[in-house]
Amino acid sequence: MKLTERQELARDLLVGPAKHVLLDGGSRSGKTFLIVRNIVVRALKAKRSRHAIMRFRFQHCKESIGLDTLPAVMRMCFPDVRYVLNKSDWYAILPGESEIWLGGLDDKERTEKILGKEYATLYLNECSQIPLASRNLAVTRLAQRCEYSMTDKATGEVVKSVLPLKMFYDANPPSKSHWSHKLFYEHVSPENRRPLPDPENYVHLKLNPVDNVENLPSDYIRELENLPGRLKTRFLYGEYGDVAPGALWTSEIVDRYRANSGELPQMLRIVVAVDPSGAGDEDNEGNDDIGIVVAGLGIDGNGYVLEDLTCKAGPKVWGNVAVTAYDRYKANLIVAEVNYGGAMVEYVVQTAKPHVPFKKITASRGKAVRAEPIAALTEDGKIRFAGQFIELEDELCSFTNKGYVGTKSPNRADAMIWAFSELFPGIVQGKSQDKPLPLPRTGIV
């Protein structure tokens, strides 16, 4: 495999004197491949050495590393090296009895099993999703002493050497509030912001898709250029995002608990939430969007954002969008904020589908106050995102403890807040004008 000029710099940094090395930047730039390649080199160099690759979720580590990147590295860079991947305990055995373990920090039992050993190398893949406490726990296991033999270039003699301990990280940059930015860019402790005693041990290099263009499909960069601003900044340019002071949501919190559609549990309860505006059926181009969000409560006790159907349309259209989502998801009810429009909002929904279970909510407090409990649930992992919701996530990241600082009305975010206020009834976001409705249907996604 031929490395690009920028990738050669990354390779040299990985084998340099620094103990902690972060490769960050845009997507598909070769970061993961280069680090896994370096770990294999270290494993082959020192017999009976142990190395661990960890992500926030074990399933993601197994799929992306164990079944994708590691086999690709071995096939392309070490075609003559035989290895065995134990798919029961998920670790690779290389010549010399060295091991590369795969793990996820979301699996307590497995994490304890892996971190019960000492390692010569630790690698936190997609570290933007990993909490600081988990990173700090992993560091305590970077302690395996491994000797290996090498030939002195000056004398030709075979001498003993010790494999230096290394901890690698990679990330598509989250916001500047993340611990990785504090450690590697600001060189301060994330806990107390005191200067690091050994800043020379924390080095980083940015790799972007343009640095790997020779190995990418011809139209890949163009697709990234079409992304919305926040995602383009992160995945094309590899820049850390600015974070509003007192932000209630950050991109790393959303990413940490993002769920794939195939991982969703059965839903115990599903609601369609509407945050209306004053748009009419005709000539509504200048009006705000109608926030429409579908959310569910899973049998695992977690809430899930299932779909964002927000639209700029008049009552006839958005009413049909809401009730169609109600039918498609076999939802329990439709909830809507009625400060603007009052009885008209319920009339629109009931006209679109007579007798549909409907619940009115009146906003009695400011946006930030309503948002704070929902943001706290998100940070605790009780609310998760079943896919990418770009516009919704942009609105959420503009909520602060002082209010909303975005440029447009947060109709998507408001609808999400109403949805989870209903799904988590102990979280009171507004004063309901109706008693809780029974569960007439059981929705399953």
Count of CB atoms situated within 10 Å of the CB of 143: 11
Residue type, 79: P
Residue 425's pLDDT is 85
Given a cut of 70, the residues of the chain with pLDDT beneath it are 1, 261, 278-287, 339-343, 363-365, 407, 427-445
E strands, 163-266, are 166-171, 202-206
Contact 212, 8 (CB under 8 A): no
In 3-state terms the chain splits into helix, strand, coil percentages (rounded to 5) of: 35, 25, 40
* b/e code 265-275 from CB counts within 10 Å (16+ = b): bebbbbbbbbb
Give the contacts of 49 (CB within 8 A, at least 6 positions apart): 42, 43, 96, 98, 99, 120, 121, 144, 146, 163
Q: At residue 320, what is the residue type?
A: N
CB 397 within 8 A of CB 413: no
Q: Which two tokens stand for residue 132?
A: 């600081």
Pairwise CA distance, residues 240 & 262, whole Å: 29
Main-chain dihedrals φ then ψ at residue 20, nearest 5 degrees: -115, 125
Q: Which domains can be identified in the chain, with CATH numbers?
A: 5-234 (3.40.50.300), 251-432 (3.30.420.280)
Which two three-digit tokens encode residue 331?
């939802």
pLDDT at 355: 92
- Predicted local distance difference test score (pLDDT) of residue 286: 54
What pLDDT is recorded for position 14? Answer: 97
pLDDT score for 441: 45
Listed as own residue / partner, the contacts of 311-316 with beta carbons closer than 8 Å and 24 or more positions apart are: 312/279, 312/284, 312/285, 312/287, 312/288, 313/279, 313/281, 313/284, 314/279, 314/280, 314/281, 314/282, 314/284, 315/279, 315/280, 315/281, 315/344, 315/348, 316/281, 316/348, 316/352
pLDDT value of position 9: 96
Residue 445 is predicted with a pLDDT of 37
